[in-house]
Structure 1
C-alpha cells in the first residue's frame, strides 16, 4: 500500500506543478504561482457559493415535500454522473499515455500498484468537484434538519467514497474502449470514435430519461424512486447518512473499496498488453518513391499541427467534445420546438428569447473547444525544434490558431444553419447567430495561445496534465466564459435596449479586441517565443 501512496503522491505533485511552485527560487515563478493560487482560491469560493445557493433553493422545495433526504440523494447522483462523464474520455490518457511509462514499470513495484496509483490520480481530480458540491449540500441539509452528531460523522466518512464507484465504472469503460481499439491498426482513430459514440449514446439516454420522468419530477417519492432505481448506491448513501444505518455505511464503503481493488488487480493482468497495443506504430503500406510536394512555411506548420492534433486521443476528446455537443443540440432542436424546450427546462419565456440568446449559447461551446490553450505546452521537450527553426515565430503561433479555427468554424457554420432554420430567426438574428460565434472562435483561439505563451507547462509526463490540468487552460476558459457573461448581464441591466443592438455593439468590440490580439502576436511573437 505504501508503494501506491508514493506513486500517487509523485504523480499528483508532477501533474499539478506543485514541486516547481514549492521549490523554485525564481521570483517571477513565485509571483506567478502566488497569483494562480489566489485565482484558484477565489474560483473555488465562487463555485462553492453558487453550489450552496442551488442546494438552498432545492432544499426549500424538498422541505415542503417532507423529503429533505432527496437533497443529498440528488447532489450525490449529480456528482457521480459528472464524475463518470468527465472520467470516461480522460481515463485512457491517465492510465496508458504517459511519457515515463518505461521508468515507472522498471521500478520494483507490482503492476497492480501502478494501476491503482493511476486510478487514484483520477479519483483525486474528481474529489475536488465532489467536495464543492457535497459540502454545501451537507451544510444546507444540516441547517434545515438539524441532525444529530452521527450525521456529521457518517457524512464526512462517505464523502471520500462517493466518487470512487463512478470513476471505476468510467475507467472500466475507457479501458475497454482502449483494449478493443488496441487490437486494430488505426487504434487511436477507433478509440476516438468509440469514446465519442459512448458519450453520445449516454447523453441521448439521459435526455430520453429526463423527458419520460418530467411529469413526475415534482413528486418527492417518485423522484426518490427514480434516483434510487437509476443509481442504487444513492439509496445506500441516504440510508447511511440520513437514517444513521451502520450496515448501509459499512456496505457502501466496503463495496467501493472492494471494486477498486478488484479492478486494479484485473487490469494489471492486461495492462502491459493494452499499453503496447496503443503505443505501437504500424506501417499502413510500403513506401514508394514519388515526387515530393513543397509547401509554404505556414502551410507546413499548419499541416504538422493538424497531424499533431488528430494523433492525440486526449487532445481531440477534451477539445472536440464541445463541438460535438453543439452539433447534437442543433440536430435535436429539429425535433423539439422552442416551446417544448422551455417546458422541459421549466423556463416558460425561453421561446421568446432563444433567438437572441442563441449566439451566446453557440459561442459558449466554441469557447469550451479551445485547442490553443495547451498547444504550446504539448510541444514539451520538443519545443526547441520550433524555436530553432528558420521560420517567423508569429507563423508558428498563427498555425496553431488556424487549427483551432479548422475545428470550430465548420461545425459552427453547420449548427448555425440548423438553428436558424429551427428557430425561424429573422435576418438580423441570423447574421448575429453566425457573426458572434465566429468572432468568439477567433477570440478564444488567439486568447488561448497568448495565455499559453505566458503560462506554458512543458515538463509534463502525461498529456492529460497539459490538456486538462495546466493553468493556461483554466485561465483561458475562465476569461472566455466571463467575456460571454458580459452581454448576458447587459441584457438584464438594460431591458429597454434591444438584445440585437447589444449583441451588435459587443460583436464590434470583440472584433476590435481580436484585431488587437492579432497585431500583438505579430509584433511580440518572436520575443514571447524566446522567453519560453
Structure 2
C-alpha cells in the first residue's frame, strides 16, 4: 500500500511540474522563487538571532513551531477543497484498484511535502540562530531536526479536518459550493478577528533591562496560548525534556491518524456532494435577455468566483481584511494603537500611511491574475465567441473592480470618520485606494497574459501555486514599500501632496499596462 501511495504522489508531482523546456521565463521565475526563499530564511535567522541577542532565546523554539504552524493551518484550510476534495482527476483515481485510504494519504502527503519545504526554510535558519545563544546538546539538536518533519503534521491535518467539516456540512445542501464558500469566509473572519484580539500591547512606560525575563515569559505564555503544541516542543528542546518532546511527537502523529480515519469514512460522500450538480425538476425557459458582452463576461466571472470556495476566499481575503481593519479601528483607542506599535505616531505619518495600507490590502484581491488561466482547456470556447479580446479583458477587469472599489470606498469612509480626515488628506484617502485598485487590476491581467497556466487539474494550482498569483500578491507590497518609506522620511513636507503624487503614479501605471494589454492576444 505504501508503494501505491508513493506512486500516486509521484504522479501528482509530475503533473504539477512544467513540461516545457527551460527558457528565459522559467529561469527568471526560478530565480524569483530562490530570492523569496532566501528572504524567508534570512528573516527566520534574523528573528532567532535578534531574540537571542536581547536575552529572549527561550521563546525561539515556540516561535519556530507557531509561525509556520499558523501559516500552514490558514492556507491548508483554504485549499482543502480542490486538493483533497473536488479535484478534477477524482473519478479517475477512485476507479483505480487502490483503497480510499491510500488516495487520501497520497493527497495529504502531497500537501505535507509542500509545507515541509517551507518549514525547513524557517526552522533550519532559526535553529542556527537559536543554538548560537542557547546551550548546545546533541539531544536538543536531534529534537530540532526531528521537529522539522513533525511541525507541518498538526496544522496540515487540523486544517484539513476543519475544511473537511465545512465540506461535510455543505455537501448536505443543494448549493454545496456556495455553502462551503460562506462557511469558509466566516471561519476566516473568526481567525482574523481572534488574531487581532490577541495582539500584545506594550506597556506605556516600556521595558527596562531588568524586565527582560518577565517579558520573555509573558511572550512565551502568549505563544503557548495561541498554539499549545509549541509548549511541548519548546520545553523538549530548551530543557532536553524527552517526555515533553515525545508528547509533541504523539500529538503530531495522532492528529494525522485521526484525520485519515475520519475523512476516509465519508470521503466519497463529501466529494459526491461537492461535484454533483442538481437541477430543478420544474425548470422552464421563461425569458431570454441579451446583454452587453462586457457585462456578460463580468457575470460569468462572478458565478465562477462565488461558486468556488478556493477562488473566493483566496482572492477575496484582501477586501475582507480591508473591511475588518476599518471596523476594528473603532475599537482601538489612539493610546492603545501607539502601545501596540511601540511608538508615538505623528498625525502627519498617520494621514500619509492609512491610504497606502488600504491600497495594499485592496490590491491583494486580484482575480484578473488568474481569471484567464482558470478558463483552462475551455479557453477555445472563449476565443470562439463573437466578442473582441478587449471586451473579454474589460469584463474580467470589471468584476475585480466591483470587488475592490466599493470595499475601498467603505473602508476609507470608516477610517475618515475614525481618524478625522479633512481637506486634501480626505480626498487622497478615497482617491489612492481607487487608483491602486485600477493599477492592481490591470497588473493582474498583464501578469496573467505573461504567465498563463491552462493545463491544470485543480483550481488550487492556479489560484495558490501559480507564478501569476504570487506576483499579483507581491505587486501591492512592492509598490507600497517605497511609498511608505517616502512618507516616513517626508518630515514637514505635506503628506497630502505626496498622496496626490502617488495617486497619479498609480493611474499612470494602470494606463501604461492597459495600453500594452489591449494589444496582446491571450
TM-score by structure 1 length? Answer: 0.91
User: How far is 1:428 from its partner?
Assistant: 1.3
Describe the superposition over 1:459-489 as per-residue Cα deviations: whole angstroms up to 9, x where unpaired: 1111001000001111222233211112122
Separation in structure 2 between the aligned mates of residue 291 and residue 87 of structure 1, nearest angstrom: 43
The Cα of 1:390 is off from its aligned counterpart by 2.0
* Deviation larger for 347-356 or 143-152: 347-356
Q: Is the 8 A contact 2:319 2:365 kept in 1?
A: yes
Q: Kindly tell me: are residues 35 and 206 of structure 1, through their superposed partners in 2, closer, same or farther at Cα, counting changes over 3 Å?
A: closer
Q: Is the 8 A contact 1:323 1:365 kept in 2?
A: yes
Confirm or deny: 8 A CA contact 2:181 2:307 kept in the other structure.
no
Pairing of 1:1-150 with structure 2 (within 5 A): 1-15=2-16, 18-20=17-19, 24-25=20-21, 29-61=22-54, 63=55, 67-145=56-134, 147-150=136-139
**In structure 2, which of residues 483, 507, 516 is the aligned counterpart of residue 487 of structure 1?**
483
Instruction: Write the deviation string for residues 209-245 of structure 1: whole angstroms up to 9, x where unpaired.
Output: 3368979996233333343344332122113222223
Match of 1:445 among 435, 438, 441: 441
Q: What is the CA-CA distance between 1:505 and the residue it aligns to?
A: 1.4
| Distance in structure 1 (CA, Å) of the matches to 2:514 and 2:386 | 21
Q: Distance in 2 between matches of 1:492 and 1:165?
A: 41
Post-superposition shift, 1:393?
Answer: 0.9
Deviation string, structure 1 residues 276-300 (Cα, Å, up to 9, x no partner): 0111112246222323111122222
Shift of 1:205: 2.7
Match status 1:247 vs 2:236: no
Which runs of 5 or more structure 1 residues have no equivalent in the other structure?
none
Structure 1 position 468 matched with structure 2 position 464: yes
Tell me what 2:223 maps to: 227
Query: What secondary structure sits across from 2:132 in the alignment?
Result: helix
Name the CA distance, whole Å, in 2 between partners of 1:406 and 1:379.
20
Aligned mates of 1:429, 1:287 — CA distance in 2: 54
Indicate how the Cα distance of structure 1 residues 170 and 228 shifts in structure 2: closer, same or farther if over 3 A, else same: same
Following TM superposition, the consecutive aligned residue runs of length 4 or more in structure 1 with deviations greater than 6 angstroms are 212-217
Q: What's the CA shift string for 1:70-90, capped at 9, x where partnerless?
A: 122123222212221222222
Of stretches 189-198 and 439-448 in structure 1, the one that deviates more from structure 2 is: 189-198
In structure 2, C-alpha distance between the alignment counterparts of 1:347 and 1:112, rounded to whole Å: 53
User: What is the distance in 1 between the residues matched to 2:403 and 2:230?
Assistant: 39
1:293 correspondence with 2:289: yes
* Structural mapping, 1:423-438, within 5 Å: 423-438=419-434
User: CA offset at residue 146 of structure 1?
Assistant: 5.0
Cα RMSD of the aligned pairs, angstroms, is 2.2
Is contact 2:178–2:308 with CA below 8 Å preserved after alignment?
A: no
Aligned residue among 309, 315, 321 for 2:317: 321
Q: Aligned partners of 1:418 and 1:208: how far apart in 2?
A: 20
Task: Tell me how far 1:53 sits from its aligned partner.
Answer: 2.5
How big is each residue's C-alpha offset from its partner over 1:433-480, in whole Å with a ceiling of 9 and x where there is no partner?
111111111111111111111111111111001000001111222233
Instruction: Determine the C-alpha separation between the residues in 2 that align with 1:75 and 1:349.
Output: 31
> CA deviation digits over 1:67-123, x for unaligned, max 9?
522122123222212221222222122111211111111122111111112222222
2:343 aligns with one of 323, 327, 347: 347
* 2:166 aligned partner: 177
Contact 2:202 2:340 in 1 (8 A): no
The number of equivalent residue pairs is 514
2:178 to 189, 199, 202: 189
Gaps of 5+ in 2: 205-210
Deviates more, 1:152-161 or 1:492-501: 492-501
- TM-score for both structures, normalised by structure 2: 0.93
Residue 355 of structure 2 contacts residue 428 of structure 2 at CA under 8 Å; is this kept in 1? yes
SS of match in other structure, 1:145: coil
